[in-house]
A and B are shown apart, each in its own frame.
Chain A
C-alpha cells in the first residue's frame, strides 16, 4: 500500500477582498505516479490549489500534506522535494540559459559532481543545448517555458506542480513540453499535477481533477467523465461556408446543449434524452464535451440576432482591409516582415500564431496606433497614413487587456466610450440602452468594471467597441486567458455580428478557433506562412498517413516546412 503523494483535507482558503473563498472544504488525494490534470473554468481555484500544495500559501482551515509533510509546519521539507513552476515562471531574463540553470542547481543544492550529467540530460530533453549562452529574455515563448521547466527539474522532484505551462505557447512547443513531461514520468517516477486551460490536454492525463468555484466537481479518469455522454454526441456534416449558420440554428434547438464548429461540420452535445437532428452522425465523446456538459450554466442558449447597422458608404470592390508588404521594425528587430492580405466585407478574418508571431504589431498598424516601417495598408478605403482619424471612425477595437476603466461602472464605461466616439444626446442614450440590452449587462450596470466576472468584462469591452456602430471590428486576442465556456459565448457573439454584416478581424493563439474564421493567415516570427480558408490551410498538412490533419497539425507542419526552407536557403 503506497502512501498518497498529496492530500488535501477540508482545505479552505480565502483572500481578503474576494467575495467567496478561493477553495472551500476541499478534499483531494493523489496517488503517486503519472500525470494528473487540473481543470476548471477561470476562478475555479487551480492556482490557489497548486500554491497551497507548494507550501506558498497557508490554508485557513484544514491541512495539506505533500509527500508526507504538513505544508504548514514543514514547508521547507516540502519545498526540498517538489518542483513548482508558476504560471509566469520567473526566469531571470538578464541571465543566460546556463546561468539560470546554475542558479537553480545552487538553490536546489545539486552536488557539483552531478551537474554536468544532469545539465546534459535537461538540455537534450528541452533541445536548448545550442542556446546555453543566450540570455533567457531573448528566447521565444516556447523556449522560455522549456527553460523554466528545466530549471524546475534540475534536481528530479518527486512531485512536480505545473501551473498552466502551455498557455500562449505555440503548438510545436506545446507538443514538446508534453513530450518532456511524459518522458519524465516514465523515466523518473515523478508524479505530475498540471493545471491547464486546454481541454484536449486531458488525453495526456492518467486522472482528471475538475474544480469549479473552489469546489471539487470530480476526480476520475477522463473516460469516467465522458461516459454519461455516450450516445449524446453527434457530428452534423457541413461545408465550410455553411457551418456558422448551421451552428447558430442548432444552438437554439431545445435538445442541444452545445454546438461547436469543427473542421468537418458542427459537433453537437445533446441534453439528456435529446434527439439528434436529421443527418447527424454519432461521434465519440471527448473530455471537452463533458467539461461543457458539467459546467455550462443552464438556460444559455443562442443569442438574439445582432442589431448592428451597416455603415452607409461601403467601399465598392468589397475589400474593406487591404494590406500590402507591411513591415515594422523596432530597432534591429523585425517584428513584422512584409505581410500581405485582404479582407472582404462581412468576413471573419483570423490572424493565427503563437505569442511573438507579430499579430499584435500588425494589428496596431491596422488601427493606426503604430506607423508601419514599410508597405501600405488601407482600412475602409482610407489610407491609414493620410487619414488615420477618418479610418478610425469605421473601426471598433478591443485590445488584449480589454482597456476598460476598472473603477468606473458599466454604464459609466459605456458613456465614456460613446462620448469618445462623438455620440451625444438621444443617439447616445439609444446606443447605451442597446448595449445594455444586447449584451445582457443591465443587471450589472452599476457594478464597477473591475469587479465584473471575466466573461462580463469581455462583453463590456465588446459593447464599448461597438457604440459607434463600426463596420469593422478589430479583436486582439480576445479569448486569451479565458476559459472554454466564456470562449464559446464570445464566438457566438462574433458569429452574430458577422451575420449582421460586420467585418471582423481577430487574432488568436488557439488553433481550434481558426475554424470560426472564413479565412485566415497563419503567422510565425513576423511572416505569413499560409493564407486561405481553414480547409485550404489544413489541406497543406495532409499526408498519406494523416488524411485529416487538424489546424494544429497544419501549424506544426508549416513551421517545419518553413524552417527547412530557411535552412536550405542559408
Chain B
C-alpha cells in the first residue's frame, strides 16, 4: 500500500489518541448524550399537575376524580372554583384544568354522557396534547364503568380499542436512543473532521504538507479513512449502549444498521471536509459545523420532532438533511424490523448525499494556497 497514505493515517491515528478533545467528541460526548436521552429526557407525560374544579360535588364527580387520582399520569390538585384554578394555570403551578360543571351528574345520569371541561396550557404544546389525550382516556373509562354499574350499556358510538404497534410500552427512550445515533455520528463525521482540518490550517501543518509530493487525494483519504473508523467505533458504542443498557429492541438486521450507518458517515465526512475547505479557523469551522450539520440533525431529522407535524416549508427543507434519512432507517430497523420500503429509498438518498458531498470536496480541494 501507498506509504504516503499509510504515513498520513498513522499520523492521524496518533493525533486522535493523544488529543483529549478528539477522544471527548468521539467517545465521551456520545456516552453523555446517550445517558441524558436514555435516562433524563422522556417525552412521556407522567404525574402531570392537573387542577380539578368540581362545581357541585356528587357521588359521580367523586368517582370521576378518584379515577383520575388512580391514574399514574396525573397528580391531582382540587380547586374550589374555576377562577382560582385559572389563576394557578396562569402561574404555571398546574398544567391543565379539568372542570366538572354543575350539570355533570345530571347529564351523566340522564344522557349517559357527561361533558368535561378541559383547559390545557398550550405554552408547552407537546405536554398539552398529551394531557388532552390522557384526560379523554380517563373520561372514556369512567363513562364505561358508570354505564356498567348502572347495568346499562355504553352509549359511545364507537368502541375504541387501541393497540400500539412496535413500541407497545410507548417508551420514548426506544425511539430517542436510535435517533440519537445519527446525532452522534454527525458530531464525529462533520464536526470533528471540520475541526481537525481547520486545526491543520491554523497550525500551518497543511502548508508544509502541501509542499510535499503527497497528492490531494491522499490528503483527503488520509482524513476520511481514520475518521470513518472512529465514527463506526462511535456507532458501535452507541448501539451497544442502546441494546444492553437501555434495552432497546433491535428487530431488523445489524447488517442493514451498519450499512446505512456507513453511508451516512460518508455523507457527514463529506460535509465536514466541505466546511473545512471554506473555514480555515477552528472557531469558524466549529460554528458552521454545529449550525449546518449538528443542529439540523437534532431538530429537523425527525429524531425528536416528527417531520410530518412540521409546517410544509420546513418539511421540504428536511429533505436536504442527511440525518433525516438515517433517522428513518434507524427507527425502523430498531423498532419495526427490515422494512425494505423504508430502508431502500432512504438508503438511496444517503448514498446520493455521500457521493454528492465527497464529490464536491474532491473537486474543490486544490493543493494550493490561493
Q: What residues make up the interface of A, taking CB atoms closer than 8 Å to B?
A: 15, 51, 54-58, 75-76, 79-80, 82-95, 99, 102-109, 135, 148, 151-152
Q: Which parts of B1-26 form the interface with A (CB within 8 Å)?
A: 3-4, 6-8, 10-11, 14-15, 18-19
Q: Is the CB of A76 within 8 A of B7?
A: no
Q: Which residue of B lies closest to A91 (CB)?
A: B205
Known: A91-B205, A99-B14. A54 touches B7 (CB 8 A): no
Q: Is the CB of B367 within 8 A of A75?
A: yes
Candidate in B14, B15, B19, B370 with the most chain A CB atoms within 10 angstroms: B370
The 8 Å CB contact of A107, one of B18, B19, B209, B370, is B209
Q: Is the CB of B368 within 8 A of A76?
A: no
Binary CB contact string for chain B from 182 to 223 against chain A (1 if under 8 A, 0 otherwise): 000000000000000000100111111111111100000000
Q: Is the CB of B206 within 8 A of A76?
A: no
Q: Is the CB of A84 within 8 A of B211?
A: yes
Cα distance A102–B8 when bound, in Å?
Answer: 10
Q: Which residue of A lies closest to B5 (CB)?
A: A106
Q: Is the CB of A58 within 8 A of B18?
A: no
For B8, what are the chain A residues with a Cβ–Cβ distance below 8 Å? 103, 106-107
Known: A56-B368, A58-B368. A107 touches B15 (CB 8 A): no
**Shortest 3 CB-CB contacts between residues of A and residues of B:** A106-B7, A90-B205, A84-B211
Q: Is the CB of B18 within 8 A of A90?
A: no
Candidate in A15, A56, A148 with the most chain B CB atoms within 10 angstroms: A56
Q: Is the CB of A104 within 8 A of B14?
A: no
Q: Tell me how far the C-beta of A33 lies from the nearest C-beta in chain B, rounded to whole angstroms.
A: 22
Q: Is the CB of A90 within 8 A of B208?
A: yes
Q: Tell me how far the C-beta of B161 lies from the nearest C-beta in chain A, rounded to whole angstroms.
A: 62
The 8 Å CB contact of B370, one of A58, A82, A93, A104, is A58
Known: A84-B211, A95-B15. A107 touches B7 (CB 8 A): yes
Known: A15-B370, A79-B212, A104-B212. A86 touches B7 (CB 8 A): no
Q: How many of B's residues come within 8 Å of A, CB to CB?
A: 29
Q: Is the CB of A102 within 8 A of B212?
A: no
For A87, what are the chain B residues with a Cβ–Cβ distance below 8 Å? 204
Q: Is B158 an interface residue (CB 8 A)?
A: no
For B10, what are the chain A residues with a Cβ–Cβ distance below 8 Å? 102-103, 106
Q: Is the CB of A57 within 8 A of B369?
A: yes
Known: A57-B369, A93-B203. A107 touches B214 (CB 8 A): yes
* 26 pairs of residues in contact across A and B, judged by CB atoms under 8 Å: A15-B370, A54-B211, A56-B207, A57-B368, A79-B213, A85-B208, A87-B204, A90-B200, A90-B204, A90-B205, A92-B11, A95-B14, A95-B15, A99-B14, A102-B10, A103-B7, A104-B212, A105-B7, A106-B4, A106-B7, A107-B4, A107-B209, A107-B212, A107-B213, A135-B18, A152-B208
For A152, what are the chain B residues with a Cβ–Cβ distance below 8 Å? 208
Known: A86-B207, A107-B213. A94 touches B3 (CB 8 A): no
Q: Which residue of B lies closest to A50 (CB)?
A: B211
For A15, what are the chain B residues with a Cβ–Cβ distance below 8 Å? 370
For A55, what are the chain B residues with a Cβ–Cβ distance below 8 Å? 211, 368
Q: Tell me how far the C-beta of A439 lies from the nearest C-beta in chain B, rounded to whole angstroms.
A: 32
For B19, what are the chain A residues with a Cβ–Cβ distance below 8 Å? 94
Q: Tell me how far the C-beta of B270 lies from the nearest C-beta in chain A, rounded to whole angstroms.
A: 24
Q: Is the CB of B11 within 8 A of A95?
A: yes
Q: Tell me how far the C-beta of B71 lies from the nearest C-beta in chain A, rounded to whole angstroms.
A: 57
For B213, what are the chain A residues with a Cβ–Cβ distance below 8 Å? 76, 79-80, 107-109
For A58, what are the chain B residues with a Cβ–Cβ distance below 8 Å? 368, 370
Cα distance A102–B208 when bound, in Å?
Answer: 15
For B7, what are the chain A residues with a Cβ–Cβ distance below 8 Å? 102-103, 105-107
